[in-house]
Every structure is written in C-alpha cells, then in structure tokens.
Structure 1
C-alpha cells in the first residue's frame, strides 16, 4: 500500500486508454450491440455510457490493468447475489455477452482489462440535491437493505486490501505531508492517531461482512419526480469485507451539515439504517470517530493522488471541500454530546 513504492496498483497505474471507437467495436463483437459510447469520469478505471441503437442504455466498465481479476469477479458475483437475495435494491444487473459470459478481458497494448456491461439505472444524481430528512432516511434505508442483501455473501477475494478500507487508515498517516495546510494536517494526523489507539484494537471484534464502502452522493441516483427515493446505487468498485459499521460511517461522512448542528442529517440517516439493519451499542459509540476517519482519508488520499495525477486533480479532489469543512466542524464538537446524539438516533440510552 506504500504510495511511493514501485509496487503496481490500480491507484498508481493509469486508467485504460481505449477510445470511444474501440469500445464501440468491443460492444459489437462481444454483445452484438451497435450504439454510441460517451466516456464518463472515473478515478482509476474506464467507465462509459452506451446509448444503443435499440434505445436501450448501458454502462460499460473496464478495470485498470493492475486490478486483480479476482476482485472484478468478486464484484460481479456480489451484484448477482444482490439480484437474487434483495431484488428491491436498485443496483445494476450484469448483461451477458453473446456467449453467455458475465465478464471478459479486453486487450490493448499488451494489457488485459476485466470488462463487464451493466444495465443503466434511472434517476438523477443525488450530488447537488440539498439534504432533507426524507433524503437522509432514503439513503439510510437503501444502505441498510443492501447490507442485509450482502450479509451472507462470501467470496475468496472479499478481503483484498484497498486503500479506502477504514481498517487500514492508520497507514495513511505516512502520506499526510502532502497536505499543505499545517493546521488541517495536524487535525488529520490526530484523527488517524485516535483510530490507531481507540478503534484498531477493537475492530477484530466488530461484526464483518461485504459492504459497498462508497455510498457517496456521486454514487446514488434519486427519483426525478419525488426527489427523494433512491433509484440507483452505482460503483461497487470499492466493495470489500470489513466491519459492517464502517460502511454506515462512510455514508454518514458525506452528510455532515455545513451549518447548524453538524450531525442533524447524519442522525436521520443512521436512524433509518438502524431500523433496517440494526447496529450494536458499541458500534454506535464509535461512529463519530469513524466518520472523522473517513474525512481524514478523503483529504490525505486526494492530496497524494492529485500530486501524482495533476491532469485528473479536479475529479480526485471533488470531495475535498466538504471533507475539510467536516474536519473543522468536528474539531469544535463536544465529543461526548455528539456520541450521545448518535446513540439516541439508534434508540440506545
């Protein structure tokens, strides 16, 4: 996981370099589909929207060549599992190739890229929609249903190491020098240290399962009419087996209020999740620090990666402003009162 080492990883290897024309040829050859491809922004993989001549729409995803193919298979098997166990969860479905395969390898310049085609989900991005109690409850409910759907899913690659897994967050302390703001850097380092001292010793005892691990507003679609119902859950690329409550903390991290009580939206999200997929008192007690840890990770990873890939810096830093503000707001919180607030959201005394 060392960021500056020579070890090849999907975080230090450029995304696949296929052109739209090459992708359209792949679609014709493998799926018998004719249509127009539009590239979508992605951090380490290649993602494209497909408008087929039939009027159907799809999403084509090609993994980074450095990605272990077993990880792509893990993600595909998880999607198939959710389709069977939780059909009400609005996740994409895999589209089989002409020969019935769920995935294949696309080759270019001597590299092999794990490739799959997914159904397109309706709705508009949650990002940019103002937070409301209704939206928070919808997010918490959707995440809880997904967690329940994945609760009994297992795969040999589920415990692969990924930089976005909160379990490994203390390792990121080595990369905080990339944060230029000294005050912010100090706060981020303190968050990592608190995790190392107070959470890491406990995490082997937390409940674990495969989780989405990136329930952020860019990865959620809402109903275009009611503006609240979740109609799409996107991007299972950070999925991993980790303590279950870490998934809830990731989702909550994106809902820290910019003004007023910092946890007013988080509280609604947590309550809705707990109603569907109950958490335990010890997990609720750690939520505050887990949310802060996700923000510290967002800031550290983005600054490190933006330095490596300045041409993609705007996308890499897309969550920076919110994460920085949340760290500042958390620094001023009464920690005991905040923990009590999150316990109360779950109905714990």
Structure 2
C-alpha cells in the first residue's frame, strides 16, 4: 500500500526533474532567451539560475502536484506587487505575452534574478533585524488589498494549520518532542480559538533567511525578497511570527523578538490581541519547522541537508523561549508596541 503523507500533495511529492539542456531549449523557444543554466536547490519546484550577458533570470518548473490555480496565484501576486516599489522578482512574459507556459514537462515561468547576499550567509545585527521587521510589514501592507480565488488553499506551513502537525511529531528528535507537544497544546487552546477574530489577508508566509537578500556592502539593507511559493490567506500576525522566528537572537530571545515586532508595528500597527499572540505564534512556527522538516527529511534523505536547513535555529528558538513565562513574553511585546 502506498504511504499517505499528512503534508498534502505538493509537500509530499518529489520536485520535478528536467535536464538543463532541455530546460534551455524550452527557454529559447518560449522566451527567446539563451544563457548558462545552473540548477538551484528547492523544496518543491525545479529552479534554474539563467546567466546571460545582460542580466540574470530564474526559470521555474512547477511541481506537478501543485494545482495550476496555486501557481497562477503566485504569479498574480508578483504582478500585483510590481507597483509597490519593493525588491521582489518581476515576471517576464513569454514571446506570446504569457506569464506562464504549459509544456509537456510542466508549467514554466521566468522571473528576474535578484542580486545580493543571502541573509543566512550574512552577519546578523540589531539594525538588520529592525530593517527586516520594517520591510516585512511593508510587504504585508502592499498585499493587504490583494485577493485571489486560490488564496485559501491548504498548506501545512500555514500556522493556522498547526493542529494538523500532530501526526508528524513522531519524526521529531525525541529530545524536543515533549516541548513541541507542549507548544502544540498551547496553540490549540490559546491561539486557535482567537485566530478567526483577527485580521486576515494574503501573506508571503516564508520570510526565512534563505528567501531574503541583503546588500553586500551594507547587510542592514534588504536587497531582495524571494520565493512566494508558500503564500496563503491567513491571519496577518502569522506572517509576522514567521518572519520573527528567524530574527530571534537565542542569547536575548525576548529582547530581539520585541525589537523585530516594534519595527513591524511602526509600519503596520498591530491590534492588542495580535501583539499578545506574537510569542506563542513564533514558537508555533519553530514547532512547524521541526515537524515538517523532520518528516520530509525522513522521506527524502538525499535532500535532507536542504530540508533541515532551518531546523537548528528552530531548536535554538524553542530552547531559548522554554524558560520564559508566557505572560512575561506577551507583556514584553505589548510594551514594544506601546500597548501597556
């Protein structure tokens, strides 16, 4: 019997495969662009960096398990953001004016390639953390009026779906499993009942350090926001929590979380209830990262290094916050937002 994963089709399917020469032939045929292709590591899709004498591109072959309307949703969001002035990829239309090309190998898209240093390779600083909080809030604000029929699709990475992580916990390191279960229990009793009452919108949903570029000469300047493949409509504060989870300094967890949240709040003010939930939802993101990554790494050991790339930071975050009383954490965030 075929094993059924609780992750959903796109997270349970292997990325598509296409040899670089065939990808180049499709690129030339449909976009009239030629160059040198280099395969990029990806969780679900097949991506190539395309180097040309003039500029770089990213050629994306969608995972065949991803519904076409979800791929279209991502493209329409990028088109919506073109007028926002934010450092996001631009959609390159084909020779026939299409934003996406259907081929026997799958759905192809071509995007601009953004230059910069990946955040996970850059030194971290408080100034960078504040810049991340500000641009994450600006991105969410720019997407506030964007709607799409596919925005409510199921995605296990969506924090509001955390209750469905329970079947994945057996794959988590036994040393962290009790803490993960504790956070999941708190989510179910404290956060889940409140989420329907909060502000909802389409959000990026994955502002992790591998999806952020900084300027090489000033690592506190955000130069690019990548990978809109996890977008979903969900409570706005979940997007903050996801971004914040990668900005927490484990040596000063509450201070750094408050710093990031204050920078967001200055650009996109939070309600009292949203601010109250920030610490728990941030911990829920760490739980989500560990549960999904552990489960997927067990299924695809050849890609485990990439799949588990954010797991160490998630473990550090959970450990750092474990000793902080929940009331103290929420009070600190309220103070950071001037909500005392």
TM-score (norm 2): 0.96
Paired positions, count: 338
- Is residue 49–residue 58 contact of structure 1 (8 Å, CA) maintained in 2? yes
The Cα of 1:311 is off from its aligned counterpart by 0.5
Tell me how far apart the structure 2 counterparts of residues 149 and 171 of structure 1 sit (CA, whole Å).
Answer: 30
TM-score (norm 1): 0.94
- Of 235, 241, 250, which aligns to 2:227? 235
- Is residue 125–residue 219 contact of structure 1 (8 Å, CA) maintained in 2? yes
- Is residue 89–residue 111 contact of structure 2 (8 Å, CA) maintained in 1? yes
Tell me how far apart the structure 2 counterparts of residues 274 and 58 of structure 1 sit (CA, whole Å).
Answer: 34
Q: Which runs of 4+ in 1 moved over 4 A?
A: 5-8
1:341 — aligned with what?
332
1:90 — aligned with what?
87
Q: CA offsets per residue over residues 67-119 of structure 1, 9 Å max, x none?
A: 001001111111111112x1x211111000000111112323xxxx2221111
2:57 — aligned with what?
58
Verify: 1:215 aligned to 2:212, yes or no: no
1:296 — aligned with what?
287
1:117-136 mapped onto 2 (5 Å cutoff): 117-136=110-129
Verify: 1:186 aligned to 2:183, yes or no: no
Q: Which segments of 5 or more consecutive residues in structure 1 lack a partner in the other structure? A: none
1:256 — aligned with what?
248
1:25 — aligned with what?
25
- Of 95, 99, 116, which aligns to 2:96? 99
2:75 — aligned with what?
76
3-state SS of 2:177 partner: helix
- State the superposition RMSD in angstroms: 1.4
3-state SS of 2:78 partner: helix
Q: CA offsets per residue over residues 9-55 of structure 1, 9 Å max, x none?
A: 11111111101111111110000011110000001111110012x32
Tell me how far apart the structure 2 counterparts of residues 245 and 258 of structure 1 sit (CA, whole Å).
Answer: 21
- Of 206, 218, 227, which aligns to 2:198? 206
Tell me how far apart the structure 2 counterparts of residues 179 and 16 of structure 1 sit (CA, whole Å).
Answer: 27
- Is residue 140–residue 270 contact of structure 1 (8 Å, CA) maintained in 2? yes
2:218 — aligned with what?
226
The Cα of 1:7 is off from its aligned counterpart by 9.3
The Cα of 1:8 is off from its aligned counterpart by 6.8
- Structure 1 residues 290 and 145, CA gap change in structure 2 (3 angstroms): same
- Is residue 178–residue 300 contact of structure 1 (8 Å, CA) maintained in 2? yes
Verify: 1:274 aligned to 2:274, yes or no: no
The Cα of 1:5 is off from its aligned counterpart by 4.5
Tell me how far apart the structure 1 counterparts of residues 316 and 135 of structure 2 sit (CA, whole Å).
Answer: 26
